[in-house]
A and B are shown apart, each in its own frame.
Chain A
Amino acid sequence: MSKAPTIRSPKSGGDRSLDSLPPRSVDQVPSAKKSWTPPRIILWAAIALLGGVSWTMLAIVRGETVNAIWFVFAALCSYLIAYRFYSKVIQKFITKPDDTRATPAEYKADGKDFVQTDRRVLFGHHFAAIAGAGPLVGPVLAVQMGFLPGTVWIIVGVIFAGAVQDYLVLFFSTRRGGRSLGQMARDELGKVGGTAAIVASLLIMIIIIAILALVVVNALAESPWGVFSVGMTIPIALFMGVYLRFLRPGRITEVSIIGFVLLMLAIVGGGWVGETDWGVAIFTLDRTTLAWALIIYGFIAAVLPVWLLLAPRDYLSTFMKIGVIGLLAAAIVIVRPEISVPAFSKFASGETGPVVPGTLFPFLFVTIACGALSGFHALIASGTTPKLLQKERQSRFIGYGGMLMESMVAVMALVAAVTLDQGIYYAMNSSAAATGGTVEGAVAWVNSLGLTGVNLTPDQLTQTANDVGEASIVSRTGGAPTLALGLANVMHQLIGGTGMMSFWYHFAIMFEALFILTAVDAGTRVSRFQLQDTIGNIVPAFRNTSWRPGVFISTAIMVAGWGAILLMGVTDPLGGINTLFPLFGIANQLLAAIALAVCLAIIAKNNNFRWLWVVAVPLAFVAVITISASFLKIFSPVTAVGYWANHVAFRDALAAGETTLGTAQTVEAMEAVVRNTFIQGTLSIIFVTLAIIVIATAIVATVRSYRSGGGVSSEDPRVESRVFAPSGLTATAEEKEIQKQWDALPAAQRPTAGH
């Protein structure tokens, strides 16, 4: 390509100049009616057949074991069919993308935030931003109900709810200049609904940070190896930050590779340090100490300049994310582990399990959360990604396709967890309140659960702990250690043998911790900004985000918010993660309900009532799950499920002068339960109230649109596009033809096409 001597600005020249350009959209050329050629029919028939066989193997054939490969095929084939057919229906009848219309990345181009980005690069960006620890942890906890309920919901849920939400939010935000979900809620739902949505998202952020932090604390407690290697990420990130600032600015890949190597050394080094006396003495920390360390860290990280800690750690975690997920997928396909977990466990049919309490409906859906439907994605799909999207049509590939990929990660996490022995799974995931935290206690507890085919021996537990270089694996709740063990269990069969198991275990812990620390730091910053904005209404000085006292005060408030919940979880006499995780799921699904409610109102405004069900059905479903789960948490008389039932039971016991109840052995522990259940119960009430307000305002807006036959669209005015780009992963023949015409255009006439 020759360098253009002069490049004409796309701003010069009116609409007439568009005539001299080749087609900007495939819609502009008379399309040869795409026929179903025999090879194409055979291909899709084969995909459908393989998918059908895989589902049969998982759901109907009841052998002693089932091979992990069927999970991969069932998921992949379902995704392919959903992407090729269902997402195209949404594209044809709801979004109706118009590639002759410029995206914000084109008409607001500033070379920094608004940049037309290659669709394949943007897919990676978007995926790295949406994928975190959530889809890894939820499915692991849901394995308590057997492998089938979780698998079905992850796959069906993503196709009809999660990917639909991500796609629609991305598209609608793109049409609105890349506006955020909160702003769109205000536009579509009015002041009450919009304010409820913003308050809810702030609270949700706090609860999500707290519970992610709890997952890290649980993974690192009493583990000198883990504490050392995860702790080393701080100096490594600082080094990377300094390197990028002062030595070689902009060399991000280079510094990430250096950081990755250092990270591997930190993991190996952790193994050595964990074996020395001084290492054990320094780095063996209990949960409360770790929680305080994380709180202090969270505060400092959120007030430090981003280049020093946040940005470099983000690079590192992106690097690790793509790598590890690819590695795990390859390992599962190559190793093809046999799985002996039952399709449905006894905890699927109404009995309350030890990992997360509650019946399959609605708690399965609340527990899995991220891998099937994640409200948090709406925050990325609005605001961040639309500013980089080159063409409207690409939103299907990036929004819908990106979420399918995340769901695949959730399926793999589930597979990794079900490769573990059932006895070990329950020993790791039952709270210390049940197992007593000892090998003997865990063996007695797990064997008393009465699970078929489970006969745990003390040897199994000590041997496994030994293999992964930990003092104990009993009651390592939170999902991360279980996933790490599952991943180590699969990976060591591919690379390194049993001798490498401890490395893989700590490798997995490290990468989960990286995700979570980034989420904690970024989440604290985002919520601090929201808070500063809110306080700014009363004290204008807070609006200025570079006013240090304002930054310090509002950061401290946010950190205190999640820190208090974290400490509550860490010291909870009832176990922590099992009481708090449902709140995490409810919060996340509630955000999804808000996002879907906004989409519902928009589609209604467009007067597209025929296809409203595409959003109305998942919205109704998620509304039923969140509201019924919240109601159970509030009103259930079963103490393991209902926060208030527990609250009342412990309060009455204290009033009656008792000194122990259930797993709370002292009066202080009982008082802690009274306090914790009060906070948890209050949060549940606030969440469900906000959810009902948002959904009700969305329904009101929808009915209003129905009566008046649509409404005034809040889309930004149309701007003509002057570029062309293919829409999917690979260019179609039609798109290649158009691209050829663009490439043939004299350089001087070519509008800037970003990069």
Chain B
Amino acid sequence: MAGSIVTGTVPALAGWAGRGARSIRWYVTSLMGDRAYEIYVAHLAVEHPGEPPLSEREFWVQRYREQEATPGARCC
């Protein structure tokens, strides 16, 4: 983004690196599941507007409880 405002190699590279770092961060956190709460809150806002979301702590407590009730296989 910096590259489009200030012309020059260094800002362009910095902008490129910044975008790259953000993409990696987005990918890793999505893959590992950090964003599950965010997704849940967004879902609730759309599908059940007005329903107060659980707190992040409660959400995770409940999520692990559900995971316990529906175990998924891991491969060999």
Contacts and interface: CB of A to CB of B under 8 A. Distances in A.
Given A111-B39, A129-B74, A306-B67, A9 B46 contact: yes
A112 interface: yes
Given A120-B27, A250-B60, A318-B32, A111 B40 contact: yes
A118 B29 CA distance: 12
Given A111-B47, A115-B39, A131 B32 contact: no
B46 A752 contact: yes
A121 B60 contact: no
Interface in A463-515: 515
B22 interface: no
A208 B76 contact: yes
Contact of B73 (A113, A379, A528): A379
B58 to A, nearest CB: 9
Nearest to A369: B76
B32 A315 contact: yes
Interface of B is mostly: helix
Nearest to B35: A755
Contacts of A754: 39
A9 B50 CA distance: 13
Interface string B58-73: 0111011011111111
A112 B31 contact: no
Contact of A319 (B32, B73, B74, B76): B32
Interface string B27-67: 11111111111111011111101000000110111011011
A721 interface: no
A111 B68 CA distance: 18
Given A111-B40, A111-B47, A305-B64, A250 B75 contact: no
Contact of B56 (A128, A250, A529): A250
B57 to A, nearest CB: 5
A112 B32 contact: no
B62 to A, nearest CB: 9
A422 to B, nearest CB: 27
B33 to A, nearest CB: 5
Contacts of B56: 249-250
Contact of A131 (B36, B47, B59, B75): B75
A529 B71 contact: yes
A278 B63 CA distance: 42
Contacts, number: 136
A368 B9 CA distance: 51
A563 interface: no
Interface string A127-162: 011111110000000000000000000000000000
Contact of B57 (A205, A249, A588): A249
B73 A109 contact: no
Interface string A544-570: 011000000000000000000000000
A133 B74 CA distance: 11
A523 interface: yes
A132 B75 contact: yes
B75 A109 contact: no
Contacts of A519: 74-76
B73 A522 contact: yes
Interface residues of B, number: 39
Interface in B1-45: 27-40, 42-45
A374 B74 CA distance: 13
A180 to B, nearest CB: 10
A214 to B, nearest CB: 12
B76 A522 contact: no
Contacts of B37: 249-250
Interface in A366-421: 370, 374, 376-377, 379-380, 383-384
Interface stretch (A168-176, A251-259, A342-350, A632-640): A251-259
A526 B68 CA distance: 10
A677 interface: no
Given A111-B39, A111-B43, A522 B71 contact: yes
A755 B42 contact: yes
A251 B76 contact: no
Contact of A110 (B43, B70, B75): B43
B71 A588 contact: no
Given A132-B74, A379-B73, A311 B27 contact: no
Given A111-B44, A306-B64, A121 B74 contact: no
Interface in A636-669: none
Interface string A246-268: 00011111101000000000000
Interface of A: 7, 9-11, 109-113, 115, 117-118, 120-121, 124-125, 128-134, 205, 208, 212, 244-245, 249-254, 256, 305-307, 311, 314-315, 318-319, 322, 370, 374, 376-377, 379-380, 383-384, 515, 518-519, 522-523, 525-526, 528-529, 545-546, 588, 752, 754-755
Q: Which A-B residue pairs are the 10 nearest by beta carbons?
A: A111-B43, A525-B71, A134-B76, A307-B64, A522-B74, A121-B30, A111-B40, A249-B60, A252-B32, A132-B75
Interface of B: 27-40, 42-47, 49, 56-57, 59-61, 63-64, 66-76
30 contacts: A7-B45, A7-B46, A113-B70, A120-B27, A121-B31, A128-B31, A129-B75, A249-B59, A250-B34, A252-B32, A252-B34, A256-B32, A305-B64, A306-B68, A307-B64, A311-B64, A318-B31, A376-B73, A377-B75, A379-B75, A380-B72, A383-B72, A519-B74, A522-B71, A525-B71, A526-B73, A545-B69, A546-B69, A754-B39, A755-B42
